[in-house]
Amino acid sequence: MAKNMLKEGKSGASDQLASAVALVTSSYGGKVNVMSAVWALRVSIDPFLMAVFVGHERETYRLIDGSGEFGISFCSEEQSELAHIAGNYSLKDVDKFSLANFHPFKARFIEAPLIGNSVSCFECRVIEKFDVGDHRGFIGEVLNAYYDDTKKPLIYNGGKFFKMGERIRHS
């Protein structure tokens, strides 16, 4: 049986997940921040809603909770260094925008900037929030979006960044 080929273990199973990588931007009380998130995804077609799950101890949590807004910029494969920086440093210690050029640009409907050179960017207004375990889920109504269909998404798998592979049959 195929099941016998599978190893057992929560950590190993988690490492097999593959996700897009987002740069979540937020702004509140004069502070502007960017944080990496793999737990960022579309959750409704009509209305167009995005969700992001943010750890309670993150500065991003405080900024989104306070402002009721967030930006999501999905990384292109040339942005792995930015995803590394935004995911390993906190605004508690450093302004991440001073560590690298994130190519931020002004959004139309939210205070937080969006990140240039991404594959797609979404301006979101929080319409619902709830706690799940050690994270808070923020559901955002998408007010505006941008994309670049010449770029390819960055992939995160087992703690490492990858380029997207080739297209295969049945898709």
Q: Using CB under 6 A as the criterion, which residues of the chain lie in contact with ligand FMN when the complex forms?
A: 21, 33, 35-39, 53-55, 58-60, 83, 87-92, 135, 156
For the bound state, the minimum distance from the C-beta of residue 165 to ligand FMN, rounded and expressed in Å, comes to: 19
Residue 93 or residue 149: which is nearer to ligand FMN going by CB?
A: 93
For the bound state, the minimum distance from the C-beta of residue 61 to ligand FMN, rounded and expressed in Å, comes to: 7
Residue 125 or residue 135: which is nearer to ligand FMN going by CB?
A: 135
Residue 74 or residue 149: which is nearer to ligand FMN going by CB?
A: 74
Q: Outline where 16-116 has alpha helix (H).
A: 59-67, 80-88
* Cα–Cα distance for residue pair 151/52, rounded to 1 Å: 23
For the bound state, the minimum distance from the C-beta of residue 55 to ligand FMN, rounded and expressed in Å, comes to: 4
CA–CA distances in Å: residue 142 to residues 70, 147, 165: 10, 14, 29
For the bound state, the minimum distance from the C-beta of residue 166 to ligand FMN, rounded and expressed in Å, comes to: 23
Residue 42 or residue 92: which is nearer to ligand FMN going by CB?
A: 92
| CB closest to ligand FMN, residue no | 87
On whether the CB atoms of residues 44 and 116 are closer than 8 A, the answer is no
Which run of H or of E encompasses 10?
A: helix 10-15
On whether the CB atoms of residues 104 and 25 are closer than 8 A, the answer is yes
Residue 82 or residue 107: which is nearer to ligand FMN going by CB?
A: 82
* Of 78, 70, 98, the residue nearest 86 (C-alpha): 98
